[in-house]
Amino acid sequence: MYISSAASPVPPAQCAQIAQDAAVRNSRDDVTGLLLFNGRRFLQVLEGPRQNVERIYERIGRDGRHRALVMLRRQDIAAREFGDWGMAYDDPAHPSESLRHKVDALLDKAGPSTRAHFIGSAEMHRP
């Protein structure tokens, strides 16, 4: 799980496209996850075989659309939190209650500063 800052303003449609493209590519590597965007910052979770996750993270780090990546958590997990989604994306047009619950739980564990970064957008996206 990392956070980063958008290099320039990213419209929601472009963020949805990034998530869709990611889902297609990540599925080849058995990687699932979550992508949140609050207008300024991304928060992404990548889950899967360690080597694959590391390789994808390196590639993402070279993407000029964002900068200042900060790794928040890198750990072995017993089970995936976002295994049901290729790359879950909090789409205001198609809100998902079960995703909402998982995101809330994740942000609860993430610590106050990460939470503060994203609570605003989470509230805005609530149906």
Ligand X SMILES: Cc1cc2nc3c(=O)[nH]c(=O)nc-3n(C[C@H](O)[C@H](O)[C@H](O)COP(=O)(O)O)c2cc1C
Whichever of 62 and 127 has its CB closer to ligand X, that residue is 62
Min CB(72)–ligand X separation in Å = 14
Query: Is 104 strand, coil or helix?
Result: helix
From residue 16, how far is each of 66, 70, 92, 126 by CA, in Å? 15, 22, 10, 17
Residue whose C-alpha is closest to residue 122's, from 66, 39, 44: 39
Q: What angle do CA 47, 48, 54 make, to 5 degrees?
A: 85
Instruction: Note whether 66 binds ligand X by CB under 6 A.
Output: yes
Q: What angle do CA 15, 93, 35 make, to 5 degrees?
A: 35
Residue whose C-alpha is closest to residue 86's, from 32, 22, 47, 19: 32
Binding residues for ligand X, rule CB under 6 A, total: 14
- Number of Cβ within 10 Å of residue 25's Cβ equals 14
Whichever of 14 and 98 has its CB closer to ligand X, that residue is 14
For ligand X, the binding residue among 2, 42, 82, 118 (CB under 6 A) is 42
Instruction: Note whether 102 binds ligand X by CB under 6 A.
Output: no
Instruction: Note whether 41 binds ligand X by CB under 6 A.
Output: no
For ligand X, the binding residue among 12, 20, 25, 91 (CB under 6 A) is 25
Binding segment for ligand X among 47-55, 56-64, 75-83, 111-119 (CB under 6 A)? 56-64
Q: Which residues bind to ligand X, rule: CB under 6 A?
A: 18, 22, 25-26, 35, 42, 44, 56, 59-60, 63, 65-66, 87
